[in-house]
Structure 1
Amino acid sequence: MQILYKSTRGGESGVPASRAVLNGLSGDGGLYVPEELPKLEVPLERLAGMSYQDLAYEVMSRFLTDYTEEELRHCINSAYDAKFDTPEIAPLRQADGAYFLELFHGKTIAFKDMALSILPYLMTTAARKNHITNEIVILTATSGDTGKAAMAGFADVPGTRIIVFYPKDGVSPVQERQMVTQKGENTYVVAIRGNFDDAQTGVKKIFGNKLLEKELDQAGFQFSSANSINIGRLVPQAAYYVYAYASLLRKGEIRPGDPINVVVPTGNFGNILAAYYAKQMGLPIGKLICASNENKVLYDFFATGTYDKNREFILTSSPSMDILVSSNLERLIYRIAGGNADETKTLMDALSRGGKYEITPEMRDQLADFYGNYASEDEVAATISRIYWEDGYVLDTHTAVAAAVYGKYTEETGDRTKTVIASTASPYKFARSVLHAIDREKYDPMQDMEQIDALAAVSGVKVPEAIEEIRTAPVRHHTVAEVGGMEAAVKKILGLTD
């Protein structure tokens, strides 16, 4: 069955997968969604015997139907190789009464590697399939991890350039150093004086500028996106939830058809949406537990049916979730609106104009699959400390948000269904916050790289190569811009202005 894509806002339909990957964002500002969600239709027992690569093919081939088997297997095998430090790619680790799906074994030690390792291959294959001659300019806003993972994926890929915007002072020291030391003649990094939502809004405005699009086309360029709004990122993420279920089957922890719950720490809603898509494909997922930090806009949405970004923006110890505009939620809104593009556009226009919208009671009734809650900074630190001292397992701050919320869920509901928690980053990316939680008095006086070595001793896990390489790497990117200067920065990088 061929799967085609359409915009959540009604302006496009009948778009092949490769073209949706290439465009990133629909021309009407909406997000691409499948015209029909495919079914997995592979026996769960058979999936349990597959490698990560073969299982990923079974999932992704059902969404990316205009890629040939040879093309898609090449993309998958090129992405999930020795760049990952374990042949399992996404291993499960049992601790604290749950199963942590470790999604941080890739090149930049964050879950973004799971999709951004394959996106360059999907995109360059799509360019060839669609006879694109322009140079593809990847434009991305990051709250910490996407930027580095995207640059690592696209570095020196022929026919592409990548420009990453991140909030100055809004990411961890390790995250910033990973970005500003990034190699690659086609990579560019711009720090902005604002927060992630400013960066994300600025990127969307650039995408929506038709005059700029025409100017770029005349100069031989075209934009695309590596953010989670790109369907080429969402589809690979669905694969690792299927792999988690298959791993539990293989280990004898569940039987075929047994439900599992999934907990996801999320700000932009892409990672948990991928789990939702996996459930819609037929994976036996019970409850989707949406874990927020103190920027709890998603928790409030699930609790009230009102999405309201008009609130204080809080800088937390889990900066990749410091987001008030959850872009991928639009895909869920479209689905619970019954595929009504006009209603979806009305709600998104309300968000753009006034910063809030309210869904109907009928739409709220369709959110029964979800549970939302949040963790305070104190609860995050307490969770890291407790799990370390009880189980000897070290969580990063984002995963600790999820573990804390999972504790609230089980306490409220008594539900003891086997549960997978998405572990989205290595604790090494947030060593200071992690060590503070374990023993602030002992570790606080240390400098950043001293804390890296201390974390190695605490965790018993070798310092990842991604961290070792930034100890002495020179800073290559120095550009800082105001939010209003983002378009000018792009034009200067592309040589369109002096």
Structure 2
Amino acid sequence: MKYYSTRDNQLRISAAEAIKMGLSRDGGLLTPCEIPQIDEAFLKKLLPMRYQDRAAAVMGLYLEDYSLQELTAFAENAYGPDKYDSPAVAPVRTVDGRTHCLELWHGPTSAFKDMALQMLPQLLSAALRKTGEEKTVCILVATSGDTGKAAMEGFADVPQTKILVFYPKDGVSAIQELQMVTQAGDNVGVCAVVGNFDDAQTGVKRIFSDAAMRETLEGRGYFLSSANSINWGRILPQVIYYISAYCDLVRDGKLAMGDKVNFCVPTGNFGDILAAYYAQRMGLPVGRLICASNCNDVLTDFLRTGVYDRNRPFHNTMSPSMDILISSNLERLLFDLSGQDDAPVKEYMVQLAQSGRYEVSGAVREKLQSLFWGGFCGEEDTAATIARYYRDHHYLIDTHTAVAAQVMDQYRRATGDETVTVFVSTASPYKFCNHVLSAIGETPESRGVELIGQLQSATGVPAPSRLAELKGKERRFDRFTEKDGMDGVVLSFLS
């Protein structure tokens, strides 16, 4: 299978080249030229399998230049018991007869980004071998909180790689920041950006598209790639867990094979829900995709009107991984809904860069609204939902998961749809102890990692061991830069 760019549908490169490159040189996102199809027979084969074997089977449909033996080994390494505290890897928890929660935070950094970022380093290392690459790859990452730590955890001390993470200064939780600035590894670097996540993400994409920067780094023996969800090697591992969740529901008698299921996904950059869309495009019986935003509600407005307008106030919220106004992965969806025509997508992206706004065609808007439903959740409702799930279901959830649960309820009230629905849990509640404690009626007695013990004592819910181990860890990184200085940080890191 070949891959092309959302801004150049004549481009054809292999899967290994696409994963190595990360972002197309024209600024577009690399995407498969065709979507492989699955049927009930395929799903029935997956039912008795472990998550690792399901992962290899699904990835093999897209990565034809990787052998099944390779992919199986990668999956064992990525999702084994030394990395994940649940043998199910991505367990589905039943809330009631028609409501389930897909928990994606049982990996080493207690966030859903582990599901892809324990796999991507292995895919990328293999891609370097397959393409005969001799230069060292520098992974540039913009993070709104979780991607940075998960990427560093995956790439730390991986041969022929270096990784540099940019995160918004004062724009992530105290525990998220501590996870990043204490990261071990001789090949890692971290720098805060004065601004928000969109500033960091725009800076990284600008550096990728800078021909002079590429030439300078090539002279030093480096080339750039990405661990953000602009890299296809990030999106593909996320497709797996939607297919796996469906199989779990069928296996456990919660759903009949062929019955449809809705997914409600909390998202800012649109990558996580895009993976659910690809699973649906493959033939997974999916009804509605419910896109849950916090009060940075640009995606909600877009899905309701067909107008994408980032010209609005930016809010720092208790669900910081969703504090995003430029949703990069939307470009892949627009390309697919436009019939793989790069012309309208390029025009949309030009308008976004110039005015911060674009409006899709009527045909694309109709397709969007038939597939997706968008809603947003404010701060008070987020806290109230955490309290309600703890009180009514004895289920402790984090702020991002609460956004999904609340928007799922909005959708049901608005539509009357009683389809079995899975809402996605993207982080452990222990990554946001202060907000979770406040929501359940406790007064936070300190800040950051010191609150882990208080939340555990108050609820009896065990804290992930790796988060508890953060206490007392030494900070390794304290650098920060203005957004215009990110180029200099990269050059210094690769000097």
TM range (shorter): over 0.9
SS at match of 2:157: coil
Q: Give the structure 2 partner of residue 23 of structure 1.
A: 21
Q: Give the structure 1 partner of residue 107 of structure 2.
A: 106
Q: Which moved more, 1:241-250 or 1:43-52?
A: 43-52
| Superposition map of 1:220-369 within 5 A | 220-367=221-368, 368-369=370-371
Q: Give the structure 2 partner of residue 454 of structure 1.
A: 454
CA distance in 1: counterparts of 2:447 and 2:18, whole angstroms: 45
SS at match of 1:60: helix
Contact map agreement 2:9 2:341 (CA 8 A) in 1:
no
Q: Give the structure 1 partner of residue 56 of structure 2.
A: 57
Deviation at 1:5, TM superposition (A): 0.5
Contact map agreement 1:393 1:459 (CA 8 A) in 2:
no
Q: Give the structure 2 partner of residue 383 of structure 1.
A: 385
Name the Cα RMSD after superposition: 1.1
Give the counterpart letter for 2:375 in structure 1. N
SS at match of 1:13: strand
Contact map agreement 1:144 1:319 (CA 8 A) in 2:
yes
Deviation at 1:78, TM superposition (A): 1.2
CA distance in 1: counterparts of 2:9 and 2:334, whole angstroms: 16
SS at match of 1:365: helix
Deviation at 1:469, TM superposition (A): 1.9
Indicate yes or no: 2:46 matched with 1:47. Answer: yes
Deviation at 1:74, TM superposition (A): 1.9
Contact map agreement 2:9 2:340 (CA 8 A) in 1:
no
Deviation at 1:69, TM superposition (A): 1.7
Deviation at 1:40, TM superposition (A): 2.3
Contact map agreement 1:112 1:149 (CA 8 A) in 2:
yes
Q: Give the structure 2 partner of residue 422 of structure 1.
A: 424
CA distance in 1: counterparts of 2:9 and 2:249, whole angstroms: 42
Give the counterpart letter for 1:24 in structure 2. G
Unmatched segments (≥5 aa) in structure 2 = none
Deviation at 1:58, TM superposition (A): 1.4
CA distance in 2: counterparts of 1:135 and 1:103, whole angstroms: 31
Give the counterpart letter for 2:15 in structure 1. A
Query: Alignment identity in percent?
Result: 50
Contact map agreement 1:38 1:281 (CA 8 A) in 2:
yes
Quickly say closer, same or farther: Cα 1:69–1:449, change in 2 above 3 A: closer
Indicate yes or no: 2:485 matched with 1:477. Answer: no
Deviation at 1:472, TM superposition (A): 1.0
Deviation at 1:339, TM superposition (A): 1.2
Q: Which moved more, 1:90-99 or 1:361-370?
A: 90-99
Give the counterpart letter for 1:256 in structure 2. M
Indicate yes or no: 2:197 matched with 1:199. Answer: no
The CA deviation string for residues 117-171 of structure 1, in whole angstroms up to 9 with x for no partner, is 0000000000000000000100000000000000000000011000000001000
Quickly say closer, same or farther: Cα 1:217–1:12, change in 2 above 3 A: farther
Deviation at 1:444, TM superposition (A): 3.1
Deviation at 1:99, TM superposition (A): 0.8
The CA deviation string for residues 44-101 of structure 1, in whole angstroms up to 9 with x for no partner, is 2221111101111111111111111222222211111120011110001112651110
Q: Give the structure 2 partner of residue 444 of structure 1.
A: 444
CA distance in 2: counterparts of 1:149 and 1:447, whole angstroms: 22
Deviation at 1:335, TM superposition (A): 1.1
Deviation at 1:11, TM superposition (A): 6.3
CA distance in 2: counterparts of 1:238 and 1:459, whole angstroms: 33
Give the counterpart letter for 2:345 in structure 1. T
Quickly say closer, same or farther: Cα 1:151–1:212, change in 2 above 3 A: same
CA distance in 2: counterparts of 1:174 and 1:450, whole angstroms: 10
CA distance in 2: counterparts of 1:414 and 1:459, whole angstroms: 34
Deviation at 1:460, TM superposition (A): 2.7
Deviation at 1:12, TM superposition (A): 5.3
Contact map agreement 2:452 2:468 (CA 8 A) in 1:
no
Unmatched segments (≥5 aa) in structure 1 = none
CA distance in 1: counterparts of 2:245 and 2:232, whole angstroms: 21
TM-score scaled by length of structure 1 = 0.97
CA distance in 2: counterparts of 1:450 and 1:149, whole angstroms: 22
Give the counterpart letter for 2:50 in structure 1. S
Give the counterpart letter for 2:286 in structure 1. I
Which of 436, 443, 446 does residue 434 from structure 1 map onto?
Answer: 436
Deviation at 1:468, TM superposition (A): 1.7
SS at match of 2:391: helix
CA distance in 2: counterparts of 1:112 and 1:458, whole angstroms: 27
Deviation at 1:354, TM superposition (A): 0.6
CA distance in 1: counterparts of 2:451 and 2:182, whole angstroms: 20
Contact map agreement 1:190 1:480 (CA 8 A) in 2:
yes
Give the counterpart letter for 2:351 in structure 1. A
Give the counterpart letter for 2:129 in structure 1. R
Indicate yes or no: 2:491 matched with 1:491. Answer: yes
Q: Give the structure 1 partner of residue 123 of structure 2.
A: 122
SS at match of 1:62: helix
Q: Give the structure 2 partner of residue 403 of structure 1.
A: 405
Indicate yes or no: 2:33 matched with 1:35. Answer: yes
CA distance in 2: counterparts of 1:382 and 1:134, whole angstroms: 51
